[in-house]
Structure 1
Amino acid sequence: MADYSEKFYLVRSDILPEAMKKTLDVKAMLERGKAESIYEAVRDVGLSRSAYYKYKDAVYPFQTMVKEQIVTLFFHLEDQKGSLSNLLAVAAGFGCNVLTIHQTIPIQGKANVTLSLNTAGMTEEMNSLMQDMQGLSFVDNVEVLSSGA
């Protein structure tokens, strides 16, 4: 079976499942301040919270994806004081905007970190960012989990 995990498709809205359309409505309501919480927004559009969470990171308005360039990076780090802030400083130094951060609790002196970055404002090539991050003494490994525009 084909691996579709890192591919993007442009799909006409009239063939999207209703749950995906409603997820886009919920995201728009939250962004515009028309709802104060996810609960309120999903209730207003008639969508379950589980359906919203299933699709929220998978469906975007076309304009959003054209404007933003999102890259998700995975790091295996040594547990050292200030390592995460130093990693974020490198990203900021390249003009990236950090969208999300997920860090596991260190086990046996190692932690996993996943960063989602908006790279639209990058001042250099992605390869340079990756090399600089890999060159940090506390970074054991860095991988690109996803990228797209």
Structure 2
Amino acid sequence: MRNTSKYYLVDASVLPKVFIKVVEAKRILASGAIKNVNEAVRKVGISRSAYYKYKDHIFPFYETSQGKVITLFFTVEDYAGILSSIINRIADSKANIITINQNIPINGLADVTITIETGQMTRDIKDLLDDISSIEGVKRQEILARE
């Protein structure tokens, strides 16, 4: 039998609250703050049946990127050490850097493309990008592609 699943990227604000609560319960369980499903669903305010119905079908965007190849794009100010800072943050998260490309700076800004493999990452991609955006001189960042 062929898998006919279709996937959509949807803004959380338009989803029924039960989906958001299922994701929250999964996050609580994954963090180890609560050890069993009963406590987690009670804490977020959903039934066990709702949790089990949706838990395998809804994921935060960053969670679906685990074990994937992701191409990141940055626009950075041209000064010594900024690329090194970005690479160090990626390395600290245990992502495997596959390629790095930095264009020649124009008007004090350079475009950088970094492709990473996320299988061994110790944090989610959203946290990594938030961390990189806090580096002084990083002006823009985005995910260009995911495989």
Q: Which residue of 2 is the match for residue 99 of structure 1? A: 98
Query: 1:95 is matched by which residue type in structure 2?
Result: K
Q: Does 1:83 align with 2:82?
A: yes
1:141 aligns with 2:118: no
Gaps of 5+ in 2: 1-6, 8-65
Following the alignment from structure 1 to structure 2, what is the Cα–Cα distance between the partners of residues 79 and 129? 21
| TM value normalised by structure 2 | 0.54
> How do 1:1-149 residues align onto structure 2 when only pairs under 5 Å count?
68-148=67-147
Q: Alignment length, in residue pairs?
A: 83
Match of 1:48 in 2: none
Could you tell me which amino acid in structure 2 is paired with residue 140 of structure 1?
K
Q: Distance in 2 between matches of 1:68 and 1:122?
A: 8
TM-score by length of 1: 0.53
Q: Percent identity?
A: 35
Deviations 1:3-32 (A, max 9, x none): xxxx9xxxxxxxxxxxxxxxxxxxxxxxxx
- Structure 1: give runs of 5+ residues left out of the alignment: 1-6, 8-66
Write out per-residue CA displacement over residues 40-66 of structure 1, whole angstroms, 9 at most, x where no aligned residue.
xxxxxxxxxxxxxxxxxxxxxxxxxxx
Contact kept, 8 Å, 2:74 with 2:113, in 1: the verdict is yes
SS in 2 for 1:73: strand
Displacement of 1:125 after TM fit?
1.1
The alignment partner of 2:132 has SS state of: helix
Tell me, in whole angstroms, the C-alpha distance in 1 between the residues paired with 2:129 and 2:67: 19
Q: Secondary structure at the match of 2:83?
A: helix
2:102·2:110 contact (CA, 8 Å) conserved in 1?
A: yes
Cα deviation for residue 68 of structure 1 reads: 4.8
What root-mean-square deviation, in Å, do the aligned CA atoms of Structure 1 and Structure 2 show? 1.7
2:123 aligned partner, one-letter code: E
What amino acid is aligned across from residue 129 of structure 1 in structure 2? L
Residues 67 and 120 of structure 2 are in contact (CA less than 8 Å); yes or no, is this contact kept in structure 1?
no
SS of alignment partner, residue 75 of structure 2? strand
What's the counterpart of residue 55 of structure 2? none
Q: Stretches of 4+ moved more than 6 A in 1?
A: none
State how far apart, in whole Å, the 1-side matches of 2:102 and 2:146 are. 19
